[in-house]
Amino acid sequence: MRRARKTINQINVVPYIDVMLVLLVIFMVTAPLVNPGEIELPSVGSKLTAPAQPLEVTLRTDGTLLLADRQAGAAPARVTRDELVARIREKQARAPDQPVVIAADRSTRYEEVLGILDLLQRNGAHKVGLLARPPQT
């Protein structure tokens, strides 16, 4: 005679508890051996420098270039491409971290903006980017 098999409706959790306790012991033993990294925080009295205002190159639809030095507070001056390169090189020679941004009228062709960007980069200007303004609400 065969006995009918009884279904098991409970999970035996004893092996899982054993594994958990072994892992707990391992972590408790190894935690004091781990050397925490040191973080060098800046001191409170350190002098913070404000970021330099960028030189702003404005390209108009008719192809004219304006250069504005916001840090000096000077009004935008009309320049040629050669003067633009010379002034930016001169300014970045005095202040190597001086950024340059290029702004253009909305209807200016994108190729002309990229031409100015390429001209500046080929002539040794660094930290050159494009200026984008948020839409007016």
Domain boundaries, the chain: 55-130
pLDDT, average across residues 82-101 = 87
Q: Would you mind telling me the total number of residues written for the chain in this entry?
A: 137
CATH fold label, 55-130: Nucleotidyltransferase; domain 5 (3.30.420)
Asked if residue 56 lies in contact with residue 70, where contact means CB atoms within 8 angstroms, the answer is yes
Q: From residue 40, how far is each of 26, 35, 44, 47, 48 by CA, in Å?
A: 31, 16, 12, 16, 17
How many alpha carbons lie under 13 Å from residue 110 in its C-beta half-sphere? 0
Asked if residue 83 lies in contact with residue 95, where contact means CB atoms within 8 angstroms, the answer is no
Cβ partners under 8 Å of residue 130, min gap 6: 101, 102, 103, 113, 117
State the pLDDT confidence band at 137, using cuts at 50, 70 and 90.
Answer: low
pLDDT tens readout for residues 28-78: 999 888 887 777 776 766 566 667 788 888 888 888 888 888 777 777 888
Position 48 scores a pLDDT of: 63
User: Quick one: CA dihedral 49, 53, 55, 59, positive or negative?
Assistant: positive
Report field, pTM of the whole predicted structure over 0.85: no
CB atoms < 10 A from the CB of 86, how many? Answer: 13
Position 46 scores a pLDDT of: 56
